[in-house]
Structure 1
Amino acid sequence: AIVTGVLVLLAVNVSPTLGITCGATLAIAYAFISLRIGAQRLHDLNWSAWMLLLHLVPMANLVLAVMMLLMPGTEGPNNYGPPPPPNSRSVTIGAWIIIFFIGLSLFVMAALFALGLMATLINAATSNTL
């Protein structure tokens, strides 16, 4: 998502219409993929995918997100089919790489705020002087 977001920003500099069209298309694609993955996770918990509508309710969306992250799936088959197969080694490695980069980015942002550089970067980005 970060790579495509940077490409959309570059496309906006070339042509605002092209950038907005690409950005809207990617936003719709990401929303569809997010809904599909959320429905699969809820089915793994033996809950209906209609529970995703709770994402539209303030505070309930946070509770649902935490529950989806922390609750273990049902053992064995449930109302929505057999259990998913175990993760392969590449999926596990990929997940740890993503977790590492998220932690690294949070550390870098905290360091930039501590050094006072983030305000300079934000001002430069808003005034297009990068």
Structure 2
Amino acid sequence: EGRIGRLRFLAWTMVLSLVTLPIVGVFALIALGLVSGDSTTGLILGGILAVFLFLGFMIVSILFSVQRLHDIGWSGWLWLLNLVPFVGSIFPLVMMVVPGNAGANRYGPPPPPNSTAVKVLCSLWIVFFALIFAGGLLGGFSAVQEEYESNLESSYDSGSVTTDEVEVVEPPAISADEAAEPAQAPVDSAQE
């Protein structure tokens, strides 16, 4: 029942993500802590908790999506298009782009105006994607640098990179008597 606008849909999905990520982290730590003791109890307990978390996440996510479809004026059953290959990767974008009906439709009155909190939560998606993009770039750059260094090291090890040998010429040896004598100024034969 009800309708939810585009910004409110994005804001609620951000809240859902922000709540789910720490819970997944805690469950993972619990499962890893129990698994490190070589017990299958940790795996079973972690798996059961993960299934319940996944079901809760899916139910709430479906509720938000159905309300968003109602805002557009479409049936909530169209959510099942998310399960269709290829279409399922595009349909969520369609739900975010298509504006809702301005007036009341068969699913109820239009959603209330967006508050400042909704706008802030929606803008967190921009920050989230910017962080993912920056992390991807930094990860790519570090992978390229590691590959370059490893190729450089292997080329030196294989001997494919040669260095020119430089012959070092040592100055003639000076005796202790010559080193102790002060240097004499050269005499110009024209002055004598």
Determine if the alignment matches structure 1 residue 10 to structure 2 residue 37.
no
- 1:59 positional shift: 1.8
Change (3 A) 1:60 1:98: closer
Which residue is 2:140 aligned to?
Answer: 113
Which residue is 2:181 aligned to?
Answer: none
Sequence identity percentage: 31
CA distance in 2, matches of 1:52, 1:17: 31
Determine if the alignment matches structure 1 residue 86 to structure 2 residue 113.
yes
Which residue is 1:27 aligned to?
Answer: 54
- 1:83 positional shift: 0.6
CA distance in 1, matches of 2:143, 2:25: 24
Deviates more, 1:51-60 or 1:30-39: 51-60
- 1:22 positional shift: 1.4
| 1:65-111 alpha-carbon deviations (Å, 9 max, x no partner) | 22101111111101100011011111111221232123212211221
Q: TM-score if structure 1 supplies the norm length?
A: 0.82
Asked whether the 8 Å contact 1:77–1:83 carries over to 2, the reply is yes
Stretches of structure 1 lacking an aligned partner (at least 5 in a row):
120-130
- Across the aligned residues of Structure 1 and Structure 2, the Cα RMSD in angstroms comes to 1.8
CA distance in 1, matches of 2:117, 2:139: 33
Amino acid at match of 2:115: S
Q: TM-score if structure 2 supplies the norm length?
A: 0.57
CA distance in 1, matches of 2:52, 2:129: 25
Q: How many residues align?
A: 118
Determine if the alignment matches structure 1 residue 101 to structure 2 residue 128.
yes
Q: Which has the larger radius of gyration?
A: 2
CA distance in 2, matches of 1:65, 1:98: 15
CA distance in 1, matches of 2:125, 2:98: 20
Partner secondary structure for residue 114 of structure 2: coil
1:62 to 72, 89, 95: 89
Larger RCO (CA within 8 A; separation ≥ 6)? 2
CA distance in 1, matches of 2:124, 2:87: 30
Partner secondary structure for residue 113 of structure 2: coil
Stretches of 4+ aligned residues off by more than 6 angstroms: none
Stretches of structure 2 lacking an aligned partner (at least 5 in a row):
1-19, 35-41, 147-192
CA distance in 1, matches of 2:87, 2:140: 31
Amino acid at match of 1:109: G
Amino acid at match of 2:83: L
Amino acid at match of 1:10: L
